[in-house]
Structure 1
Amino acid sequence: MNDPAGSGVGTMEDLNYVLTFTRVVQAGSFAAAGERLKLAPSVVSKHVAKLEKSLGARLLQRSTRKLSLTDAGSAYFEHCARIVEELEQSQHAVARLQAEPSGKLRVSSLNSFVDAVVAPLLPEFFRRYPKIELEIVTNDRTVDLAEEGFDMALRLAHAPGPLLVARKLAPIHFVVCATPEYLARHGTPQHPDDLRGHNCLGFPSPLERNFHFLRDGEAFTVPIAGNFRVNNINALRTVLLAHAGISLLPTYCIGPDLAAGRLVAPLRGWYGSDATSVYAVHLPNRYGSPKLRAFVDYLQQCIGDPPYWDRGLDISKGAA
C-alpha cells in the first residue's frame, strides 16, 4: 500500500480495514466491534490482520483477557480516529443536505412568467426552505444551461428540447382579450375575422403579424394591425387594461383579470393555436439535487392541475 500521507489508506478496502481497526480499539474487543459493524468476530480479526500485514507492523497485542495497542498501533490509531471522524462528519453533512435543501439555485425564465406566476409564490417558498438562495435571471431567449451556469430553466415551449431532463408543470393557453370598456366602444368580435377592424396589440416580431386560432380542430389565421407592439407581456397587459386595444395573451398572465371581469375573452369557441406548456428543465447531472427538486416540486404543487390561473375559466369557450 503506497500512501504518501502515511495513514495506510489507499483503497476502499483499506478504508474498511481502518474503520474495523478503529472500532476494535474503541469497543475493546473483536466481538464488541463486530456487533457495532454487524460483522462476525472472525471477519473483524481478519480485517485487522490484513491491515497489519499491509503496514508491516503489529498494531494490537492479543491475549485471552484483553486487547492492547502496540506503540505503532497507538500512533496509527490517532490518525485512524481522525479519518473515521471526518468520514462520519461528511456523511452527516450529506444527510443534512438531503434532509434540508440548501445552497444557491440559479434559474433562467421568461420575464412574464416570473412576474405573474413565480414571484408571488416565493415568500412561502423561502419560509419552507430558508437555506436556499434563489437567483432568477429573466430573458426572452433559450439559454445554454451548462455554458451560462444555470441549474435549471423554466421554459415555455412545444417541446422541452433534447438532452435535458424535463418536467411539465402546466399547459399554457392563449385567448383574445380586451376590457369591457374597449369592446363597448369598438364592438365585440364574434369571429377571428372580425379582428381585422380592431386595434390589435402584439409583439414586434414579424411572425406576430397574424393571430392563429383553433376551434374544434379547425385552424384560422387572421392578419392583424394595431398602433402598439412591445416585447413584454406585462407591458401589453397594462396597455390593454387602459382600454387601448385587443390582444391574444396567455391565461397565466391574465387569468385573474378574466376571473375579476377586468378583461373579457369575447371569441367564444376560439383559442390561440400557439398553445405551449411550461417545463422545468435541467441537465442530467443535476438529477437528484435537493434544492432543485424542492423548487420544482413546490412550483408544481402550487400551480396545480389544472393550473390555478385557469380554474373557473372555460378556456375552450374563450370566456369565464
Structure 2
Amino acid sequence: METLANLESFVKSAESASFSEAARRLSLTPAAVSRNVAMLERNLGVRLFQRSTRKLVLTEAGERFLQSIGGNLDALQTAIADVSSGASEPAGVLKVSLSPTFGAEFILPLLPELKRRHPLIRPEWHFENRHVDLAAEGYDVAIGAGFDLTPGIVARTLAPAHIIAVAAPGYMAGRTPPSDPEDLSRMEGIAMRSLRTGRVRQWVMRNVAGTEKAAPLPDTIIVNDPAAMREAAKLGLGVALLAVSDVLRELENGSLIRLLPHWYADAGAISLYYASRTLLPAKTRVFVDLVAETFSREQLAERFAGSLASVG
C-alpha cells in the first residue's frame, strides 16, 4: 500500500505543477518531494509526470490517478490528523484569511476563548483585503463577502453585507441631509479603489419597498481600505458608503451618523468559506462553530442589516 507521504507529494505537485511549490506547502525539501513521486511511479509502474526544466505536466495516467484519489486523499489526511491529535482535542495550525477592519473588530476578540477551549490550536490569521484561493494557498477558513465558490468550497452565511451612507455629525452641521440617494451627488465623497479591479466602486441603493436608485457620490477622496474610509469620515472629510459591520461601533457611539436611513446597497453576505469535506478537520470545525455561535448570541446578523430602521 502506498504511503500517505508519496500520495501527498504527488497531489501537491500536480496542483502546483512544481516540486518546489509542493515542497513549500508540505514543509519538505524539493528533493524529498521528487523522491516520493519517483517512488510512487516505480511502485505503480507508470510515469505520472512529464518533467522539464520549467514545469511539470501530468501524463494521461497521472490525470486519471489524480482524479481518482483527490477527494479521498483529503478525507484520509483529515482522519489521520484527527486521530493523531486525539478526536476530542483539536490541534494544529489554523490558517484563516479575514479583512483587517471586520477581522480585528469581530473575530480577533474570539481568540482568547478559542485558545482557552482548544489550547493545541495554533492560530495563523492573515488580515488582508483580498480574496484568497483557499486550496492553493493552504487556508483552512476565509471570512468575508463575495468569494467565488470554486469546486470543493462551501459558504456558511453569517450576516448580510449591507452598505450604508455615513458621515460625521460635524460634516453634516449646516447641511441639508439627503432625502434620496441621488442627493449624494452634492456631497463630498470618500471612495475606495478596489484592489482586485482597480476601479472605484459604484453602488446602487435600494429601500425596503424594492425601489433601486444609483448613489452618485463624488470620489473627492480615494483610499484603498475600509478602515481608512471610516477614519476619514470621522474626520469630517465627507460621506462614505461602508458596510454596517465596518461602522457599527461608530454608529452606536455617535461619532458617525447614518444618512438615508431607509436606503442601503446589498453587497451579498458575510460568510465563512472552507473546504467541503466529509470529515472536516476538528480545528476547523470548532472555529467555525465558535464564530457562528458568537454571531447568533450577539445578534450580529440583525445588527449588520442596513434594511433595519434600528441601525443608526
TM score, norm. by length of structure 2: 0.66
CA distance in structure 1 between the partners assigned to 2:281 and 2:268 by the alignment: 27
Relative to structure 1, the CA distance from residue 312 to residue 146 in structure 2 (aligned partners, 3 Å threshold; closer, same or farther) is closer
CA distance in structure 2 between the partners assigned to 1:166 and 1:209 by the alignment: 24
Which of 99, 103, 121 lines up with 1:110 in the alignment? 99
Residues 139-154 of structure 1: pairs in structure 2 closer than 5 A: 139-154=128-143
Which of 150, 164, 175 lines up with 2:153 in the alignment? 164
CA distance in structure 1 between the partners assigned to 2:124 and 2:200 by the alignment: 31
Relative to structure 1, the CA distance from residue 313 to residue 111 in structure 2 (aligned partners, 3 Å threshold; closer, same or farther) is closer
Aligned length: 230
> What is the deviation of 1:140?
2.8
The aligned residue for residue 20 of structure 1 is none
Deviates more, 1:113-122 or 1:293-302: 113-122
Which secondary structure does the structure 2 equivalent of 1:226 belong to? Answer: coil
The aligned residue for residue 212 of structure 1 is 204
Q: Is the 8 A contact 1:155 1:279 kept in 2?
A: yes
Q: Is the 8 A contact 1:172 1:276 kept in 2?
A: yes
- Letter of the structure 1 residue corresponding to residue 102 of structure 2: F
The aligned residue for residue 276 of structure 1 is 268
Partner deviation per Cα, 1:14-42 (whole Å, 9 max, x = no partner): xxxxxxxxxxxxxxxxxxxxxxxxxxxxx
Which of 229, 237, 242 lines up with 2:235 in the alignment? 242
The aligned residue for residue 162 of structure 2 is 173
2:286 corresponds to 1:294: yes
Q: Tell me how large the CA RMSD over aligned residues is.
A: 2.9
Which secondary structure does the structure 2 equivalent of 1:157 belong to? Answer: coil
CA distance in structure 2 between the partners assigned to 1:265 and 1:128 by the alignment: 38
Partner deviation per Cα, 1:202-225 (whole Å, 9 max, x = no partner): 112465353310111111113221
2:216 corresponds to 1:227: no
> What is the deviation of 1:176?
0.7
Deviates more, 1:248-257 or 1:299-308: 299-308
Relative to structure 1, the CA distance from residue 316 to residue 275 in structure 2 (aligned partners, 3 Å threshold; closer, same or farther) is farther
Relative to structure 1, the CA distance from residue 258 to residue 249 in structure 2 (aligned partners, 3 Å threshold; closer, same or farther) is same
The aligned residue for residue 267 of structure 1 is 260
The runs of 5 or more residues in structure 1 that have no matched partner are 1-89
> What is the deviation of 1:161?
4.4
Relative to structure 1, the CA distance from residue 160 to residue 263 in structure 2 (aligned partners, 3 Å threshold; closer, same or farther) is farther
> What is the deviation of 1:319?
4.1
% identity of equivalent residues: 30
The aligned residue for residue 69 of structure 2 is none
2:240 corresponds to 1:251: no
Residues 1-320 of structure 1: pairs in structure 2 closer than 5 A: 94=83, 97-157=86-146, 160-205=149-194, 207-208=199-200, 210-215=202-207, 216-272=209-265, 274-285=266-277, 287-304=279-296, 307-308=299-300, 310-311=302-303, 315-317=307-309, 319-320=311-312
The runs of 5 or more residues in structure 2 that have no matched partner are 1-78
CA distance in structure 1 between the partners assigned to 2:119 and 2:200 by the alignment: 42
Relative to structure 1, the CA distance from residue 286 to residue 152 in structure 2 (aligned partners, 3 Å threshold; closer, same or farther) is farther
- Letter of the structure 2 residue corresponding to residue 155 of structure 1: G
- Letter of the structure 2 residue corresponding to residue 275 of structure 1: A
Tell me which structure has the larger Cα radius of gyration: 1
Partner deviation per Cα, 1:287-317 (whole Å, 9 max, x = no partner): 4211101111001111127843743987333
Which secondary structure does the structure 2 equivalent of 1:275 belong to? Answer: strand
Relative to structure 1, the CA distance from residue 162 to residue 184 in structure 2 (aligned partners, 3 Å threshold; closer, same or farther) is farther
Partner deviation per Cα, 1:216-255 (whole Å, 9 max, x = no partner): 1111113221331111111111111111111111111111
Partner deviation per Cα, 1:242-296 (whole Å, 9 max, x = no partner): 1111111111111121122221112021111x33212212223484211101111
TM score, norm. by length of structure 1: 0.64
The aligned residue for residue 54 of structure 2 is none
CA distance in structure 2 between the partners assigned to 1:159 and 1:204 by the alignment: 20
- Letter of the structure 2 residue corresponding to residue 303 of structure 1: F
Partner deviation per Cα, 1:115-155 (whole Å, 9 max, x = no partner): 22211222222222221101112333322222211122113
Q: Is the 8 A contact 2:188 2:219 kept in 1?
A: yes
Which secondary structure does the structure 2 equivalent of 1:99 belong to? Answer: coil
Q: Is the 8 A contact 2:145 2:270 kept in 1?
A: yes
Q: Is the 8 A contact 2:164 2:306 kept in 1?
A: no
